Amino acid sequence: MSLLDVAPIIEQMLLVSDNVSDLNFSCNQKPQVEINGTLYPSTPMGLGKLSAFQTEMIAMSILRDNADAALHLAKYRTADLSYALPGKCRFRVNIFQQRNSYSIVMRVIPHDVPSFDTLKIPPQLEDICNIRNGVVLLTGPTGSGKSSTLAAIIDRINETKSYHIVTIEDP
């Protein structure tokens, strides 16, 4: 197994629980999975504490097909990008440099768009789907469900209307 083939590492980390929300790779730490807001060490493919070289190889593997993100990382010491395990799941990824090594945080993006019922969205938010013009801001802290809520709103609009929708998200 080569660290340039990061897919098996990620796949093993995802097997820890159905509730894994994030994967973390940092120098001098074991790979970590976040489940319900708590970080747990993981040892995919027998990995222990990661060296600076290993975290760099993981970062380069994730950046392999994204030259723009690689250039941004080289220039600004941070990059936001997406990464996919075909047929399995997608991730929002942040790679950054700290203390002369790389750290990688990967947020799991589920394949299935959650429904209003699944998310228990209040009726007031359902009214947003009927707004024809204007700007809607959806804000909140990390892990509060902004992306899931937005996906449900957009899915509902796409099912019932023929509106033009523009989203601006960071990251």
Residues 28 and 101 in one domain: yes
What domain range is 134 assigned to?
A: 116-160
Residues 123 and 91 in one domain: no
Residues 61 and 82 in one domain: yes
pTM: 0.80
Q: Which residue has the higher pLDDT, 144 or 69?
A: 69
CATH number at residue 81: 3.30.450.90
Binned at pLDDT 50, 70 and 90, residue 167 comes out as: confident
The last residue of one of the domains, among 109, 127, 149, is 109
Distance (Å) of CA 77 to CA 107, 110, 112: 19, 28, 33
State pLDDT tens for residues 107-134. 999 878 888 888 888 888 888 888 888 8
Per-residue pLDDT, 66: 95
Residues 22 and 105 in one domain: yes
Residues 42 and 68 in one domain: yes
State pLDDT tens for residues 35-81. 999 999 999 999 999 999 999 999 999 999 999 999 999 999 999 99
Per-residue pLDDT, 3: 54
Q: Is residue 1 part of a domain?
A: no
Average pLDDT, the chain: 91
Mean pLDDT across 139-150: 86
The last residue of one of the domains, among 71, 86, 109, is 109
Give the distance, in angstroms, between the CA of residue 160 and the centroid of all CA atoms in the same chain: 28
Residues 93 and 16 in one domain: yes
Residues 71 and 99 in one domain: yes
